[in-house]
Amino acid sequence: MKILIAKPGLDGHDRGAKVVAQALRDAGHEVVYTGLKRTPEEIVAEAIQEDVGVVGLSILSGAHLLLTRRVIEGLRAAGAGDVGVIVGGTIPPRDVESLRALGAAAIFPMSTPLTDIVAAFTTRRLGEPQDVAGLGPRRPRRAI
């Protein structure tokens, strides 16, 4: 699968994004990384241009609800609503359900094991939100 790992907003912390990108690459996926501080519009355009199946958003600034909504709405408006959107980063428990309601296919809060993230991408069903509710980490996620 081709995956876009993206850093929306102003947050400059890219350790998680780069670690996940390397793990997905090693798992055999084709991974494109946007670099820091991209606007939701830029991410939507790059996702379409690169023809990716999934966009992984890495957000550690706390602005995840707004930025995720913008990316999902942007993809839908551009006729790319079938592109799955996954969100990882500093996501407090109280926001996980809100992100799901916005249409995020999977959410990976702090301390999600890397193997769980790779496994979720590898199911290849992330474009179908109704199928992915059970695609979270193997371990029951606490605090959700």
Partner 1 sequence: MKDLRLNAGIPVKPSYGPEDLAGHDVDAEVGRPGEYPFTRGIHRAMYRERLWTMRQYVGFGTPAQTNARFKHLMAHGQDALNVAFDLPTQLGLDSDDPRAEGEVGRVGMAVDTLADMEAAFAGIPLDRVSVSLTINGMAAPITAMYYAVAERQGVAADKVVTTPQNDILKEFIARGTWVYPVEPSLRLVADLIEFSARRYPRSNPVSVCGYHIREAGCTTAQEMAYGLAIAAAYVELMLARGMAVDDFAPRLSFNFTCWGKIFEEVAKFRAGRRLYARMMRERFGATNPRSCMFRSLIGGGGSAFTAQEPENNIVRGAYIALTAALSGAQTMALPTYDEAYTIPSAKAQLIALRTMQICAEESGAADTADPLGGAYYVEALTNAMEERIVEELAAVERMGGIVEAVKSGAIQAEVARQAYLHEQRLAAGEIRKVAVNCHVGDAGAEADRDVELYAFDPTVAEAQVKQLARVRAERDGDAATAALRRLADEARGTANLMPAITECVKAYATLGEINRALKDVFGEHREPVGF
Q: Which residues bind partner 1 (CB under 8 A)?
A: 5, 9-15, 17-19, 21-23, 25, 31, 33-37, 39, 61-63, 65-67, 90, 92-94, 109-111, 113-115, 142-143
CA distance 8 to 63: 9
Structure tokens at 86: 């996954």
- Number of CB atoms found within 10 A of residue 61's CB: 15
Nearer to partner 1, 48 or 65 (CB): 65
Rounded to a whole number of angstroms, the minimum distance from the CB of residue 11 to partner 1 is 6
At closest approach, how far in Å is the CB of 22 from partner 1?
4
> How far apart are the C-alpha atoms of 127 and 144, rounded to whole Å?
23
Of residues 118, 113, 100, the one with CA closest to residue 141: 113
Q: How far is the CB of 83 from partner 1 (least distance, A)?
A: 20
